[in-house]
């Protein structure tokens, strides 16, 4: 789990294990709210499916123009936001207003990477989970889905090895 650092989560369900690791790494995964998505062109088809699954869980989807077009083309409702240099409203406004609970941002190129630093800094300051790889975003979806379906329990390590 390269994205979580020096923590681990254990559970028979991979989603719950990932969610536990996120709880330890901080901030924990949200169980609802608004998601901001902006991904590089090569990931737009994958993220459209991911956005559909988040929307099915009741999340509201916000995205920049290109990402929003891919999500909308796949039949998922999405609210378009401007990129930082294009005007307002943009994701930093939503972060400052406490209107974002989760961010998926995989930039490519100089300007998107500069924006990503600003977005990540604001997200960290407001304790909003931000995923910068599709792998982590998919694992997060699995964690949120599992947490909403059954919650989690805590066991000591010996209980896992007793079987």
Q: 130 pairs with which residues across the strands?
A: 103
Predicted pLDDT of residue 160: 80
C-alpha–C-alpha distance, residues 28 and 8, integer Å? 13
b vs e for 86-113, b when ≥16 Cβ sit within 10 Å of the residue's Cβ? eeeebbbebbeeeebbbbbbbbeeeebe
Predicted pLDDT of residue 159: 87
Per-residue confidence band for 1, with pLDDT thresholds at 50, 70 and 90: very low
What are the pLDDT digits (tens) for 85-130? Answer: 999 999 999 999 999 999 999 977 666 678 889 999 999 999 999 9
C-alpha–C-alpha distance, residues 42 and 134, integer Å? 11
pLDDT at residue 35 greater than cutoff 50: yes
The token duo for 64 is 């920049």
Q: What kind and span of H or E run contains 79?
A: strand 79-81
pLDDT at residue 135 greater than cutoff 80: yes
pLDDT at residue 58 greater than cutoff 70: yes
C-alpha–C-alpha distance, residues 44 and 23, integer Å? 28
Predicted pLDDT of residue 154: 87
In order of their start, the domains of the chain are 30-134 (3.40.50.1380)
Share of the chain above pLDDT 90, in %: 75
Apex 69 CA angle, 112 and 63, nearest 5: 50
Predicted pLDDT of residue 3: 54
Predicted pLDDT of residue 2: 52
DSSP state of 136: H
pLDDT at residue 6 greater than cutoff 80: no
In terms of Cβ atoms closer than 10 Å to its own Cβ (0-12, 13-18, 19+), residue 17 is: buried
User: Which pTM value belongs to this model?
Assistant: 0.89
Per-residue confidence band for 25, with pLDDT thresholds at 50, 70 and 90: confident
Predicted pLDDT of residue 84: 92
Query: What is the residue whose two structure tokens read 């998107």?
Result: 112
């Amino acid at each position: 789990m390269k994205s979580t650092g020096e923590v681990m989560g254990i559970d028979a369900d991979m989603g719950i294990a990932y969610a536990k690791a996120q709880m330890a790494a901080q901030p924990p995964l949200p169980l609802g709210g608004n998601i901001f998505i902006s991904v590089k062109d090569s990931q737009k088809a994958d993220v459209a499916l991911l956005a559909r699954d988040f929307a099915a869980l009741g999340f509201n989807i916000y995205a920049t123009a290109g990402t929003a077009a891919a999500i909308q083309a796949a039949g998922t409702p999405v609210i378009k936001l401007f990129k930082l240099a294009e005007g307002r409203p943009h994701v930093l406004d939503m972060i400052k207003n406490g209107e974002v609970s989760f961010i998926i941002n995989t930039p490519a190129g100089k300007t998107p990477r500069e924006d990503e630093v600003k977005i990540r800094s604001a997200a960290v300051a407001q304790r909003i989970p931000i995923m910068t790889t599709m792998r982590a975003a998919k694992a997060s979806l699995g964690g949120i889905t599992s947490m909403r379906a059954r919650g989690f329990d805590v066991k000591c390590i010996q209980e896992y090895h007793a079987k």
